[in-house]
Chain A
Amino acid sequence: MTHAMQFDLAKLSVREINQFLHHQLSGSGVDRIEILHPDGNHSIAVGMDADVAVDILGHAGYFIAGMNKRASVTVHGNVGWSVAENIMSGLVRVKGHASESAAASGHGGLVVIEGDASSRCGISMKGCDIVVGGSVGHFSAFMAQAGTLVVCGDAGPNLGDSLYEATIYVRGKIHSLGADAREEELQAADIERVSHLLAAAEIDCDASQFKRIASARSLYHWNADAHQEY
C-alpha cells in the first residue's frame, strides 16, 4: 500500500524538506513524496538514500537529486545545472529539459532527460547511464570514465572529448567529436544495450539507428617512453 506525503515549497524551506528526507523518512512507511511549488529552488532532494519515489511538480533549479542513492526522483518540468550530479544509484527523470552538466560525475543509476540537455551532459561520468530524449550540447561526456550516454537527438561540438571507458550512442547528427573520441561500428551487443536503456527510460526509438562513439585510447599514456625518467 502506498503512503504518500506532500511538501509545499511555498510554505517550507528546502532545508526542512531535505531534513525530513534524510532523517524522518526512514521507518515512516512513506514511499511516495510530492514536492509542490519547486519554483526554481536549488538542491531539492539531494543526498537521498532511500527506496522512495519523489515527484517534484514544476521547474526546479541547480543540483536537483544530487548524489542520489536508491530513490526514484521525477521532475515534472525543467531543471537547472547539474541535475543528479554524482548519482550513485536509483533513477532521476526530468520530464522537461535540463541545463548544463546533467548527471556530472555520476557513478551509477539511470538519469533520463526526456527533453534536451545542455552542454557537458555526462561530463566526468563514472558508471551511470544517461538517456536523453532530445539533443545534447557541446563537450558532452567530456572525460567520461565509465557508463553509457544515449542521445536520441543530435550532439553538439566536441562530443566525448578525452573519453576514457564510457560509451556514447547518438541517433541524430554529431556536430563534431572531441579529442580521442571516434565512431566505431555498432555491434549487436550495442543494439541490445541501447534497447535496454531506452526501455528503462521509456523512450520509443529504434536502437539500430544509433552511432557508437568510444575512446581511441590514444591519450591514455603521456608519451612517457620518450623520457629517461619513465
Chain B
Amino acid sequence: MSRPIHREESASIDRLAIRYIREAAQHGLYEIRGMGAKRAVPSFDDLVFLTASASRYPLEGYREKCESKTVLGTRYAKKPIELEIPITIAGMSFGALSANVKEALGRAATAMGTSTTTGDGGMTSEERQSSKTLVYQCLPSRYGFNPDDLRKADAIEMVLGQGAKPGGGGMLLGQKVSPRVAKMRTLPEGIDQRSACRHPDWTGPDDLKIKLEELREITDWQVPIYVKMGATRVRDDVKLAVKAGADVVVIDGMQGGTAATQQVFIEHTGIPTLAALPLAVEALDDMNVVGEVQLIISGGIRTGADVAKALALGADAVAIGQGVLVALGCNHDSYVQDGANIDATEDYAKLGTAPGYCHHCHTGQCPVGITTQDSVLERRLTPDVGAERLKNYLQVLNMELTTLARACGKSNVHHLEPEDLVALTVEAAAMAKVPLAGTDWIPGRRDP
C-alpha cells in the first residue's frame, strides 16, 4: 500500500520560483519579456467613489453635460495642447509596434480628440499624417530624432524613464529591427538593439533645464514640453522637473508596460501608480504650480473608473499603453483578415503561451499582428480595424469617466477631488492618502 502524497507548496520557493531558478540554471540568461508587472499591487481598484446622496447632488447621468476638455502645457508654450478628453495614448515606438498600429493609434486618437505619442525610433509619416495632435518623444537613444520632425510636433516629451524599467534602457531584439526600423535608427539590420538609459547631451537636473531651453529655442517656444519619468523618488523628481521648466510632468507607475525589458525590472522597480500619483500632486503643490504645470499619470490605467480615480486624486490626464494594445486585439484569441475571424491560438502556442497570458512582444512574433515588423503578421491588424476598436475603447472610457463624475455631482471631470474617494484597504488608503472606507483614518497622516 502506497503512502499518501503530502503536498505542501513552499511560500518562498513556490512553483514560480522553481521555474525561475530552473530556467536561470539552464540558460544562464535572465528573462526578457514585454508588457507590465504581473504581480498584484495596490491599485485604483482598491478605491471607490462616494457618489452623491443626501449630502451631494448628482447630475443626470444621461442628459446633463459633463465637460471633459483638457488643456496641457499652459506654463510656457504659446500653443498649449487642447484635447476633448483627458485620456491620451502613451509613447510606443514604431519598431515595437507595426506601422499599421501606429496609424491606427493616430486615427483613433484624432477621432476622439486626443493625442498620441511617438516612441523610441522617431516619428513615422503614418503617425504624423493620422494624428491631429502628436507628441514627439526625445529619448536617450535619440534614434531618428531630428529638427524637421521636432518642428512638426505638437508637443515634446523629454523621456527620463518609464514605469516598466526606470533606470534601465530600452531593447529591441533583432527580429524587429527590419530594414525600415534599422534605417530610421541608423543601426545594422537585425541586431539586438539597446537604447541608452541616459541622455547623451545632459545629465543632472541643472543640465536638463538648459536642454529644455534649447528645445524651446529650436521650436521658438511654440509647443509644450513634457517631462516623463518612471515612478521612483516621485516627490523629488517632480520638483526637479518643474524647476527644469517642464510644462507637463508625466509619471509612469510600475504597472506601466514595455515592448521588451528584463523581467527583473518589470516586477521589481518603481512604485505603484496609486502611490506615485499623490506624491506627484504634493510635489506640484509644494512648488505652488498646481494648475500651472499639468500632471499626466500612466501605468496600468484600463477603465473609465481608473481614469476617474486618477483625476480625482489630482491628475490632469492619463496616458494609456497596454490598455490600448488590448483594445487593438492584444491577447485576443483571433484576428480579422479579409473580413473573417481567424483563430490565433496555434500561433500563441508556438510562442509557448496562450491568449490572455501573452507577453511575448519582444519576439516580434505577435499572433495578432500588433507588436511585430513581420510583413505577414502585421497584416493581421489593419489600420481600419485597429482604429475602430480603439476609438470605441476610448469612447467607453470617457463615457464611464463622465458618468462617475456626474454621479459625484460634477459638471466637469476635472472637478473630481480626493474627497470623492475612499479606500478599501489600509495599503491603498496610505498610498492614495484618502480615508479607509467607513473611517476617517488615513494611515501615515498625522492629525493636524
Interface residues of A (CB under 8 A from B): 14-15, 18-19, 22-23, 42-43, 46-47, 49, 61-63, 66-67, 69, 81-82, 85-86, 88, 101, 104-105, 107, 120, 123-124, 126-127, 142-143, 145-146, 162, 164-165, 220-224, 226-230
Contacts and interface: CB of A to CB of B under 8 A. Distances in A.
B29 A227 contact: yes
Interface SS majority for chain B:
loop
Interface string B177-215: 000000001111001101010001110000100110110
Contacts of B433: none
B236 interface: no
Given A124-B200, A143-B196, A67 B173 contact: no
Contacts of B142: 86, 104-105, 124, 126
Contacts of A107: 146, 186
A22 B201 contact: no
B210 A145 contact: no
Contacts of A105: 142, 145, 200-201
B214 A49 contact: no
B70 interface: no
B418 interface: no
B349 interface: no
A46 B191 contact: no
Contacts of A23: 220
Given A104-B200, A124-B142, A86 B147 contact: yes
A62 B200 contact: no
Given A82-B202, A85-B201, A224 B192 contact: yes
B363 interface: yes
Interface of B: 27-29, 31-32, 141-142, 145-147, 150, 171, 173-175, 185-188, 191-192, 194, 196, 200-202, 207, 210-211, 213-214, 217-221, 351-352, 360, 362-363
23 contacts: A14-B217, A22-B220, A47-B147, A47-B217, A47-B219, A62-B210, A67-B146, A67-B147, A67-B150, A67-B218, A82-B201, A86-B145, A124-B200, A126-B186, A127-B186, A143-B200, A222-B173, A224-B192, A227-B31, A229-B351, A229-B352, A230-B173, A230-B363
Nearest to A47: B218
Given A43-B214, A88-B146, A220 B202 contact: no
A124 B221 CA distance: 27
A81 B202 contact: yes
Contacts of A120: 200
B210 A42 contact: yes
Contacts of B147: 47, 49, 67, 69, 86, 88
Q: 7 closest pairs, A vs B, by CB? A: A47-B218, A82-B201, A104-B200, A105-B142, A124-B200, A104-B201, A63-B214
A227 B32 CA distance: 10
B191 A145 contact: no
Contacts of A14: 217
Among A42, A61, A229: residue with most chain B CB under 10 A: A229
Contacts of B352: 228-229
Contact of A101 (B194, B200, B213): B200
B370 to A, nearest CB: 18
Contacts of B217: 14-15, 18, 43, 46-47
Contact of A43 (B28, B146, B174, B210): B210
Contacts of B191: 164, 220-221
A230 B352 CA distance: 11
Contact of B192 (A49, A124, A220): A220
Nearest to A49: B147
A8 B27 CA distance: 64
Contacts of A123: 200-201
